[in-house]
Amino acid sequence: MKGMPAVERYDEQFQFLFPDGKPMHSIAYIIHNKDEVISGITTTKGLSHRIHAEKQQELKTELQWADFDSAPPFGDA
């Protein structure tokens, strides 16, 4: 329609929640689609960035958890 702003047909946003329903805030994530990789940090409500696309596409999400060393504590043999 003339005079109206262009709108993307598809836009998605993910909300990451713990099993108890509380938002997973300040967690690093990656979203993969066919053409790009989008990374970010969840908001206080556990939300990702909004992803806009002109056509339907498959998206895959990954949470980037901290990696802890499995070495025994100091003083243990």
Q: What is the pLDDT of residues 50-63, one digit of tens each?
A: 988 888 899 999 99
**Whether this model's pTM surpasses 0.75:** no
Number of domains into which the chain is organized: 1
For residue 6, what is the enclosing H or E element?
Answer: none
What's residue 77's pLDDT? 54
- Comparing 6-10, 32-36, 66-70, the range with the smallest average pLDDT is 66-70
Q: What is the pLDDT of residues 15-41, one digit of tens each?
A: 999 999 999 999 999 999 888 999 999
| DSSP letter assigned to residue 2 | T
39, HSE (Cβ side, Cα atoms, 13 Å): 3
32 CB-near residues (< 8 Å, 6+ apart)? 38, 59, 60, 61, 62
> Which residue in this structure is represented by tokens 């005079």?
3
68 CB-near residues (< 8 Å, 6+ apart)? none
Q: Which pLDDT band holds residue 6 (cuts at 50, 70, 90)?
A: low
The answer to whether residue 37 sits within a structural domain is yes
The C-alpha atoms of residue 58 and residue 32 are separated, in whole angstroms, by 8
